[in-house]
Amino acid sequence: MTVSADSRRPGFSIQTKLLVMLLGVSIGSSVVVGLVGYVSGSDSLRQAAYAQLTETRESRAREITNFFTTTENSLVVYTRGTTAINAVTDFTAGYKALEGSQLSADQSSGLDEFYTSTFAPALAKRTGSETSAAAFIPTDPAERYLQATYTDPGLDTTKSISVDDAGDGSAWSAANARYHDYFHEIIDRFGYEDALLLDTEGHVVYSADKNVDLGTNLLTGPYKGTSLASGYTETLNSNVVDFVKLTDFERYQPALGAPVAWIMSPVGENGVTSGVMALQVPISQINAIMTADNGWAEDGLGATGETYLAGPDLLMRSVSRELIENPEQYQKDAISAGTAPEDAARAVAVKGTILIQPARTAPVKDALAGQTGLVQGTSYLGTETLSAYAPLDIKGLQWVIVAKINTSEAFSAVSDFTRNLILAIVALIIVVSLLSLVLAQVFARPVRRLVGAVRQVSAGDLAVEVPQGGRDEFGDLGTAFNEMARSLRIKQSLIDEQSAENEKLLNTLMPADVARRYKEGQETIADVHQDVSVLFADLIGYNDFSASFPAEKELSLLNGIVASFDEAATRMGVETVRTLREGYLASCGLVVPRIDNVRRMVDFALELRKIIERFNGQHSTSLSIRIGIDAGTVSSGLVGRSSLAYDMWGEAVNLANRVQSVSGAAGIFVSQSVRDRMRDAVVFVEAGTLETADGEQTVWKIQ
């Protein structure tokens, strides 16, 4: 029984091998690509989240810094203006005029009753601590008069700020009627809470709100320990008219313990300070900047992100987003995160978190330490967040800014990407497995046909045509094999063409007869030629002309000159023998014997001179050419072995070189024999003599 080759072959069949290979490569590739895609994609998405949060932090930081810078600049403009200067002067005078005023018994008792029954209880309720009214009841006559006259007994500043003149006929009321609208307009347009004017003795001589701090003395009164008082002292003692003092938020009793920050500057001109103007920083504008006018989502912070400010006491200096959107949830989260229940309740009651909500988080602490960065950690409400933090560059304030967003939301794109990637890889593996099974069967059939064709080729049948089959890789292989045979024929054709090109190149380097003899293997090739004209030309002045040019331009110009020489030589039947940088050797009658070789060479020399003249006209140069011509017997042949050169030598060559250098000047110089043959065609002048083997010979110059 005959055993087939297939039955004797051990191992797996090609179909099985292909199937295993395709499955292994495809599944392995899918897994590797998936892993690379996951690492790259998730990292890119994380970086995008980091960049978005960082950009939001930087944007809010720029806005809040610009806000304070603009406020400072505006305040300096106000305080140096005539209106503010005159107002301080008039209000101070009006205040002093009230120092001797007396209130009626009803007015006096009404003022005391206001502090006892209205102000002190309201302050105690707001702050949560007992307050003695006696500590705040004014004693200064002017202060008592102003508050009794202008301060609203119900602490409604919207009413008191609307009064321009109480109609009491006092100088202070006259000043208020004159200037109050100016300061009221500043508050209305720019959102300040209040505007104060203080004299040089510490008296609050004007308040737009006309609250309980109107008329008080910051140096001796009940508010002497406030940041307003310390800021006033620093501002007054600065002796700089455009000095600006910015205070941090503190609980201010006249505002019933609400957080208040001041920005103040001296009022005066010509280096003389007449008082201080203080503006109450608007909390609403700070919150509007930090919340993007409640447009967190539009600002790239999604459903859980926010930016907030914090101070060195680790308390917030802006409002919490969750307090605005969901006060009840805020209260629960704040208490769960460690905020005192009474503080959380108070924040909800006053609808603000400034100086109430603690922010003892890592981002705040790192920013207070002067650091800038990104960190994942727990927020002030106990949620896991991604935070971008940085210190703020605001003169006088040690504030920091934090932009945060819940980690789950920040990296939600990463989670979605991971899930979709896993599903795609699983689907891809299933599809690849099915395709591999089908392809393994398809691949096995053409392989067997291809083996037979390859064996024919190995037997030497180069003319075999492989069936191309289908339009797949095996079909391409058959096509490639057939093209290979055709390529061999094409390459032979190219070799023949290259030989022809080499023949052409050889003929450009030497005469055809010399080239033929060289190809035939002659090692020494030399010929003697009778009656040959020889021209030797030197280009004068080119080195000086081209000294300032780059090498490329210098060579380009020189090649242009030589090309013109060669063109003229071809046109006039002259053979170029050798070209040097500033030298040119030519012959006439060497390759092709010519009876008129001398005339042709003289005409060629005259043409060379015209070429140089045209070049001078084009380039505004003063190049010249020195040419020597002789006629006689010369020898020519190939010189060298590794680097061949066709050259010409002999007495005529030497004499042509010598006659052109007899005077050292430019011109066309010829030997006696040339002059004798061209006597009637060209005008010659005697240029000198030189010694030759035949004796002294005259050198002639063509005019």
pLDDT 10s digits, 284-295: 999 999 999 999
**Site of tokens 């800014």:** 401
DSSP string, 416-453: HHHHHHHHHHHHHHHHHHHHHHHHHHHHHHHHHHHHHH
How far apart are the C-alpha atoms of 151 and 149, rounded to whole Å?
6
Higher model confidence: residue 105 or residue 239? 105
How far apart are the C-alpha atoms of 118 and 147, rounded to whole Å?
14
pLDDT in tens, 28-53: 766 776 676 656 555 666 787 788 88
Whether pLDDT at 459 is above 70: no
Burial class, 476, CB count within 10 angstroms (exposed 0-12 / middle 13-18 / buried 19+): middle
pLDDT at res. 202: 94
pLDDT at res. 397: 93
pLDDT at res. 21: 72
**Site of tokens 């024999």:** 673
pLDDT at res. 239: 79
pLDDT in tens, 49-97: 788 889 999 999 999 999 999 999 999 999 999 999 999 999 999 999 9
Angle between helices 327-336 and 341-350 (to 10 degrees): 160
Higher model confidence: residue 696 or residue 481? 696
Q: What percent of the chain has a predicted confidence (pLDDT) above 70?
A: 83
How many CB atoms lie under 10 A from the CB of residue 21?
13
pLDDT at res. 642: 62
Q: Where are the alpha helices (DSSP H) in 245-310?
A: 283-290
pLDDT at res. 7: 44
How far apart are the C-alpha atoms of 156 and 646, rounded to whole Å?
115
Whether pLDDT at 374 is above 70: yes
From 3.30.70, 3.30.450, 1.10.3470, 3.30.1370, which CATH number describes the 291-410 domain? Answer: 3.30.450
How many CB atoms lie under 10 A from the CB of residue 633?
12
Element (DSSP H or E) covering residue 630: strand 624-639
DSSP state of 297: I
pLDDT at res. 613: 93
Reported confidence tier of residue 424, pLDDT bands at 50, 70, 90: confident
pLDDT at res. 2: 44
By the 8 A CB rule, do 534 and 652 touch? yes
Whether pLDDT at 621 is above 80: yes
pLDDT at res. 160: 84
Q: Which long-range contacts (CB under 8 A, 24 or more apart) does 450-453 make?
A: 450/474, 450/477, 450/478, 453/478, 453/481
The CA R_g of the chain, rounded to the nearest whole Å, is 53
pLDDT at res. 251: 93
Strand locations in 14-151 (E)? none
By the 8 A CB rule, do 157 and 254 touch? no
pLDDT at res. 411: 73
| Domain with residues 512-702, CATH architecture | 2-Layer Sandwich (3.30)
What would the mean pLDDT of 426-446 be, rounded to a whole number? 71
Higher model confidence: residue 509 or residue 610? 610
Paired tokens of 686: 């005697």
Q: How many residues can be counted in the chain?
A: 703
Query: Reduced to 3 states, what is the DSSP secondary structure of residue 249?
Result: coil
Of the candidate ranges 30-39, 454-463, 552-561, 666-675, the one whose mean pLDDT is the lowest = 454-463
pLDDT in tens, 579-605: 877 789 999 988 889 899 999 999 999
Whether pLDDT at 476 is above 70: no
pLDDT at res. 219: 94
pLDDT at res. 24: 75
What would the mean pLDDT of 438-453 be, rounded to a whole number? 64
pLDDT at res. 5: 45
80-284: what fold? Beta-Lactamase (3.30.450)
Reported confidence tier of residue 6, pLDDT bands at 50, 70, 90: very low
Q: In degrees rounded to 5, what are phi and psi of residue 132?
A: -90, 125
What would the mean pLDDT of 543-572 be, rounded to a whole number? 89
Q: Which long-range contacts (CB under 8 A, 24 or more apart) does 608-617 make?
A: 608/537, 608/565, 608/568, 608/584, 609/668, 611/561, 611/564, 611/565, 611/568, 612/539, 612/561, 615/560, 615/561, 615/564
pLDDT in tens, 85-140: 999 999 999 999 999 888 888 888 999 999 999 998 988 888 888 888 888 999 99
Higher model confidence: residue 493 or residue 244? 244
Average pLDDT, the chain: 85
pLDDT at res. 378: 93
Of the candidate ranges 79-93, 101-115, 196-210, 505-519, the one whose mean pLDDT is the lowest = 505-519
pLDDT at res. 546: 86
Strand locations in 407-556 (E)? 526-540
By the 8 A CB rule, do 14 and 444 touch? yes
User: Smallest Cα–Cα separation from 275: which of 73, 78, 99, 69?
Assistant: 78
Paired tokens of 35: 């892993």
pLDDT at res. 687: 87
Higher model confidence: residue 39 or residue 258? 258
User: Smallest Cα–Cα separation from 700: which of 691, 572, 690?
Assistant: 690
